[in-house]
Amino acid sequence: MESAQYHQALALLDWQIELGATEAICDAPVNCYDLPDTLAKPKPPETRNAPAAQTTPAAQTDPVAEAGRLAEAAQDLDGLRAALDGFEHCELKRGARNLVFSDGFPGAPVMIIGEAPGRDEDREGRPFVGRAGQLLDKMLAAIDMGRDRADAPVYITNVLPWRPPQNRDPHPDEIAMMRPFLERHIALANPQAIVVMGNISAQALLGKRGITRLRGTWTECFGRPALPMFHPAYLLRQPAAKREAWADLLSLKARLSDG
């Protein structure tokens, strides 16, 4: 009988070695599946004389509410820029080189609102200075307007003032944080008309996406006439769409002429 138990135990040991066991750590076997039920719960550290722990969570700052408070307090564009520069709740700021606020003439009759800065804009701290910006300048020049023309000026900004990593689309929470600043920006710049360029801008300003469906149809944004248009970056990828963009530019010029 003892010999049979010996050989049975040896066979079990060989089987465990084949499974990968390399050493024994206890004199008696332990069933790991029974461990949570059989082991006593660890005692908490001695806290008889310690004050009761605070269980109320710390108040969390609402980034959108904070953005609204800072934006509303800005009395001019310089104050709004300073408020944006001091806003610490948007993670995009930590990865960007520069705050990209605006370009052109404040108070111009047309305010162009793009989506977000790219690499060139992040480097220079101005919106629309890369290939898309160069195309935008040509488009505006075709209707005798420009960011550097005092006689027919435009004012340019973006929904986001900081470049998203790898030029990805802005996240909904990022758009929500920037929307109070954008609304205040429009109020302080006081344009006669707004050009909403691209899907992200349409989402932020109009609450809609689908720029191919929206473009060319005048609507309203914060109580002002607004014209959705293709983003110049889209036109670089889809040159055939420049025909529709030209029609939209003529519509913008006609709207301004009608006053």
User: Fold for domain 64-258?
Assistant: Uracil-DNA Glycosylase, subunit E (3.40.470)
* Selection from 155, 73, 61, 64 nearest residue 108 by Cα: 155
Q: Where are the domains of the chain?
A: 64-258
Long-range pairs for 45-48: beta carbons < 8 A, 24 or more residues apart:
none
> What is the per-residue pLDDT for 133?
97
> What is the per-residue pLDDT for 247?
98
Angle CA(78)–CA(122)–CA(98) in degrees, nearest 5? 45
Task: Flag residues of the chain having pLDDT under 70.
Answer: 1-4, 6-7, 9-59, 259
> What is the per-residue pLDDT for 58?
40
Exposed e or buried b per residue across 203-218, where buried means at least 16 C-beta atoms within 10 angstroms of its C-beta = bbbeeeeebeebbbee
Asked if residue 104 lies in contact with residue 147, where contact means CB atoms within 8 angstroms, the answer is: yes
Residues 105-120: tens digit of each pLDDT: 999 999 999 999 999 9
HEC secondary structure over the chain: CHHHHHHHHHHHHHHHHHHCCCCCCCCCCCCHHHHHHHCCCCCCCCCCCCCCCCCCCCCCCCHHHHHHHHHHHCCCHHHHHHHHHCCCCCCHHHHCCCCCCCEECCCCCEEEEECCCCHHHHHHCCCCCCHHHHHHHHHHHCCCCECCCCCCEEEEEECCCCCCHHHCCCCHHHHHHHHHHHHHHHHHHCCCEEEEECHHHHHHHHCCCCHHHHCCCCEEECCEEEEEECCHHHHHHCHHHHHHHHHHHHHHHHHHHHC
> What is the per-residue pLDDT for 49?
53
> What is the per-residue pLDDT for 3?
58
> What is the per-residue pLDDT for 60?
80
Give the global pTM.
Answer: 0.76
